[in-house]
Amino acid sequence: MNSKYSFNNKKLVIVSILLILLVITGIYLLAVKFSSANGAGLMGGSNGMMGNNGMMGNGMMGNGMMGMGNDMNMTGKGVNNMGHRMFPQYKGVKTGPALFRYEGCFMCHTINGSGGDGMAPNLSHIGQVRSFSWIATQIADPSAHFKRNSIVTLNGVKYKAVMPSFKNMSSKDIGILAKYLESLK
């Protein structure tokens, strides 16, 4: 009789562990789906991990623990390396939204409430005011439009022109990303 209870206890432990793993996986998948569906949750919104008050906004990487705030002087390589580490699943994916994340654009820029830290323009409607050519040039060589560290006013908001150059991105990827941004009306 003792061995019967011993077997049931082992079975109960295994079933409990599997149930816990299933619940954790479900919560994670819901959070990812929620964040990508409406720009909130883990990755976006104003309070999500990547949003204005989250890890990348006023939290760890924005004006918070790292203390970089609006004086952040990261190179294009540094920005996209951060994107590469955070979104490895987008490596080789050639769509505008995937490149926006993979190349690290989301760290400074916001689209529809997701990403950004307030130090760079919101790109939710950039296609209404900028052409494909202008956007592609801005990605490859921002100094073609704005002198580095100058103050630029866009839609009544002042920004310090600190966008890094992404001239090392392939022209194909720059074109895909620029086309995506141009489509945001």
Q: Chunked in runs of 10, what are the mean pLDDT values of the chain (185 residues)?
A: 59 80 70 45 40 37 33 50 80 92 92 91 95 96 94 89 90 96 97
pTM of the full structure = 0.58
Instruction: Convert the pLDDT of each residue in 168-183 to its tens digit.
Output: 899 999 999 999 999 9
Quick one: three-class SS letters along the chain?
CHHHHHHHHHHHHHHHHHHHHHHHHHHHHHHHHHHHHHCCCCCECCCCCCCCCCCCCCCCCCCCCCCCHHHCCCCHHHHHHHHHHHCHHHCCCCCHHHHHHHCCHHHCCEECCEECCCCCCECCCHHHHCCHHHHHHHHHCHHHCCCCCCEEEECCEEEECCCCCCCCCCHHHHHHHHHHHHCCC
Q: Domain residues of the chain, as ranges?
A: 1-38, 51-182
- The CATH number of the structural domain formed by 51-182 is 1.10.760.10
